[in-house]
Chain A
Amino acid sequence: MSFFKKSPWIVHYDGASCNGCDIEVLACLTPRYDVERFGCINTGNPKHADILLITGYINHQSEPVVKAIYEQMAEPKVVVAIGICATSGGIFRDCYNTKGGVDTTIPVDVYVPGCAARPESIIDGVVKAIAVLEEKHQAMKKARKAS
Chain B
Amino acid sequence: MTRNFLAGFAYLLLAPLVGALLAGLDRRITARMQGRRGPPILQPIYDVLKLLAKEPIGVRRHGHFFVFGHLVFMMAAGFEFFFGGDLLIVIFAFALASVFLVLGAYAAHSPFSHIGAERELLQMMAAEPILLLTAMGFYLANGSFRVEYIADHPTPALFLLPGIFAALAFILTIKLRKSPFDLSTSHHAHQEIVKGLTTEFSGLSLALVEIAHWYETIMLLGLFYLFLAPYPLAAVLLVAVVYGLEILLDNTSARMKWQWAMKSSWTTASLLGAINLIVLYYWMGTTP
A39 touches B43 (CB 8 A): yes
Closest residue of chain A to B40, judged by CB?
A39
Bits for A60-77, please: 1 = Cβ < 8 Å to B, else 0.
000000000000001110
Contact bitstring B190-205, A, C-beta under 8 A = 1, else 0: 1100110011111100
A74–B59 CA distance with the chains assembled, in angstroms: 12
Residues of A with C-beta under 8 A to B37 = 34, 37
B206: A residues at CB distance < 8 A: 48
Mark contacts of B26-37 with chain A using CB atoms, 8 A cut-off: 1 yes-contact digit, 0 otherwise: 010001001111
Query: What chain B residues lie within 8 Å of A123 (beta carbons)?
Result: none
Interface residue A42 (Cβ < 8 Å from any Cβ of B): yes
Min Cβ gap B136→A in Å is: 40
Once A2-B53, A47-B200 are accepted as A-B contacts, the answer to whether A41 and B189 lie under 8 Å apart by CB is yes
Number of interface residues, chain B, beta carbon within 8 A: 31
Partner of B50, one of A4, A36, A37: A4
A3 within 8 A of B: yes
How far, in whole Å, are A38 and B200 apart by their CA atoms in the complex? 25
Q: A42 to chain B: closest CB distance in Å?
A: 4
B152 at the interface (CB under 8 A from A): no
Contact between A44 and B191 (Cβ–Cβ < 8 Å)? Answer: yes
In the bound complex, CA of A45 to CA of B201 (Å): 10
User: Chain B residues near A116 (CB, 8 Å)?
Assistant: none
Task: Tell me whether chain A's interface is mostly helix, strand or loop, or mixed.
Answer: loop
Alpha-carbon gap, A26 to B54, bound state (A) = 25
Given contacts A2-B53, A75-B54, 16 further A-B contacts (CB under 8 A): A4-B50, A9-B47, A31-B35, A34-B36, A34-B37, A36-B36, A36-B38, A37-B40, A39-B43, A39-B47, A45-B194, A45-B199, A47-B201, A48-B198, A48-B202, A74-B54
Contacts A/B (CB < 8 Å), 22 sampled: A3-B47, A4-B50, A31-B34, A34-B36, A34-B38, A36-B31, A36-B38, A37-B38, A37-B40, A39-B39, A39-B43, A39-B46, A41-B47, A44-B191, A45-B194, A45-B195, A47-B57, A48-B195, A48-B202, A50-B54, A74-B202, A76-B55
Chain B interface residues toward A at CB < 8 A: 27, 31, 34-40, 43, 46-47, 49-50, 53-57, 189-191, 194-195, 198-203, 206
